[in-house]
Amino acid sequence: MSIQGSLGTFLGVEMAKPKVGFFELSSCEGCQLQLLNNEATLLEFLSLLEVVYFREGMTEKSNDYDIAFVEGSITRDDEIERLKEIRHNAKIVVALGSCACFGGVNQLKNRFHDLEWVKKEVYGDYPISTRKAAPIADFIDIDLEIYGCPVKKEEVERIVSRLVLGKAVTHPQYPVCMECKANENICLFELGEPCLGPVTRAGCDSWCPSNRLGCWGCRGPAPAANFKQLKEIVKRYNIPVERLLDRLECFGGFQNIVTDMRGSGGKGENET
């Protein structure tokens, strides 16, 4: 990848300073806001980059960028064209947050299987364009995903630093439960709270469980996640399967698992 500009030198080697754009599709823009809220290290973070497009943080705009961070899912036809233009301009495209990676909360409307009904219920007679919500990888090739709803500021900084230095970016291969245990948290199942920590990809430092909120799986499934064991845990603690399914459906990362569980009789409110 050819990158313009310079960060200065590191061990005598000139460092590249990439031009970066931040973009949003259908989303709350919370992932971009996370970056702006990172006041303690914001200046140091921005020193790694030349930000040329960031509607939430600046008025200047340029389509000359090396890396595009895209937040949000596709819910309209015009967003597909905009996304393809971003892909055309960028050397690297990063899916930023759960909406971009999995469809996010937006994809909950898909389970109604009748978008006209959904549109009528939400907007009444107001004319609006809509389509089935989908992650951006359904329409373009992406180079990297950063998970979470919202993303973890520290993780974004780590990943961007590695991109700038030309180093490989890797994600944890273990579940949130391991981070939770390392943080010496009480297992929320013991408190009667369902939690997707056993099957969700780590990297958030058990953000929600550490604040006494069971994991909702915003980071998607961990590699080789043991869903059979999760169902046994839920049964052991007398938590209805439907409560588990609500969490698995929330951000879209577990859609195949939800389909399998519902197909195997996981609909009953009192079923465990």
> If one looks up domain 8-165 in CATH, what number appears?
3.40.50.700
**What CA–CA distance (Å, rounded) separates 51 from 60?**
10
pLDDT recorded at residue 15: 63
pLDDT at residue 23, rounded to an integer: 97
* Tokens of residue 212, six digits: 């006494």
Q: Is the pLDDT of residue 2 over 70?
A: no
pTM of the predicted model as reported, rounded to 2 decimal places: 0.88
CA–CA gap between residue 9 and residue 1 (Å, rounded): 18
pLDDT digits (tens, 9 = 90+) for 207-227: 999 999 999 999 999 998 999
Sort residue 40 into left (φ over 0), alpha (ψ -120 to 50) or beta: alpha
Average model confidence (pLDDT) across the chain: 89
Q: What is the pLDDT of residue 257?
A: 87
| pLDDT at site 12 | 57
Q: What is the pLDDT of residue 9?
A: 52
Are 176 and 61 in contact by the 8 Å Cβ rule? The answer is: no
Task: Tell which residue, 143, 145, 136, 166, has the closest CA to residue 48.
Answer: 166
**Segment 155-197, tens digit of pLDDT:** 999 999 888 888 899 999 999 999 999 999 999 999 999 999 9
261 — pLDDT class (breaks 50, 70, 90): confident
pLDDT tens for each residue of 58-80: 999 999 999 999 999 999 999 99
Residue-range domain boundaries for the chain: 8-165, 176-263
Residue 214 bridge partners (DSSP): none
CA distances from 170 to 146, 155, 163, 167, 177 (A): 10, 11, 11, 10, 19
Confidence of residue 271 (pLDDT cuts 50, 70, 90): very low
